[in-house]
Amino acid sequence: MKKVIVTTTINPPTEAIHRFDANPDWDLVVIGDLKTPKDYQLKRGRYIAPEEQERIDKDLSDAIGWRCIQRRSFGLLVAQQMGAEIVALVDDDNIPRAGWGENLMIGRPVEVHYYETDLPAFDPVGATNHAHLWHRGYPLQLLPRRDYRRQSRKTITPDVQADFWDGDPDIDAVCRMIHAPECKFDPKYFPMAGNRLSPFNSQNTFISGKLLKDYFLFPHVGRMDDIWAAYYVEALGARVVYGAPTVYQQRNEHDLVVDMQKEYIGYENNLRLVSDLAANPEAIHKYLPERSAEAFRLYRRHFHG
């Protein structure tokens, strides 16, 4: 099975990157940006410099723009060219633990803790031992109404496996300002899934290669790039399972006010978005800026059928 790790970075190779690069079961693809060191080198993996990205698709490069994490979509194109059957999306501050990437659930029946809700979205973080937190991109208006009492055991066959992260988890800026958590998630709560659209990110997340045509990290929507990608592919029918933590997130330095500003488009739109997508997945285009929609169109040109 062809398995490819995809990330982007502006830093020299980090501890996480060295560990991913050393994993013999995976191929690593690192997408550079304008601030990435010119002498960036990997031992086993493949570094895609800005010039090579423009040779792949100059129009797409222009539509995405520079100095943004959404350059990672070029890694998805490279993974597709490599024949990836599973793609792992990671950040360069996700330090993998022993056994990372081995317990893959994609494409096989898995028994999960299954939660049912009448709300338009399911928040996986609230179902854990850190129930006061919530996942980045979960509609804030729903927080007081989260209810996890309707729980059962169910077997599903996932297309996406979103593994959690100990340390500094993927929560939004509001949650981080209030709680500043250092987390250790109890494995007993995993694997889990829900009956509604739910947010998953592009760090420590495994996706089936069959989803690559539709999974796109939307540029020009701030920190909702991967969240809206998640909601979109789920609305198309992709099933997501949340797995126990397999990385420690030693989060790169962030300005939380800047993060909050980049998340505002989600605070304002996510509740309407999940409701609209549940009825019609193509409603995503109501929320995308023109340049983002054009980038999505250009990205999809690389897929056939």
Question: Mean pLDDT for each 10-residue chunk of the chain (305 residues)?
Answer: 97 96 98 97 97 98 97 98 98 95 97 98 98 98 97 98 96 95 97 98 97 98 98 98 94 87 98 98 98 98 85
Chain centroid, CA 276 distance in Å? 21
Instruction: Give the per-residue pLDDT at 251.
Output: 75
pLDDT, residue 249, reads 86
Q: How many domains does the chain have?
A: 1
31 falls within a domain: yes
User: Which range of residues forms the domain containing residue 280?
Assistant: 3-300
* Domain membership flag for residue 276: yes
Is residue 13 domain-resident?
A: yes
137, part of any domain: yes
**pLDDT for the residue 231:** 98
Q: Domain for residue 305, yes or no?
A: no
Q: Is residue 172 part of a domain?
A: yes
Tokens 């987390």 correspond to 183
- Map residue 87 onto helix, strand or coil: strand
Instruction: Answer whether residue 52 is part of any domain.
Output: yes
What's the pLDDT at 305? Answer: 60
Whole-angstrom Cα distance, residue 237 to residue 214? Answer: 11
Q: Is residue 41 within 8 Å of residue 47, measured between CB atoms?
A: yes
In CATH, what number is assigned to the domain containing residue 265?
3.90.550
Query: Rounded to two decimals, what is the model's pTM?
Result: 0.97
CA dihedral (62, 67, 69, 75) positive or negative: positive
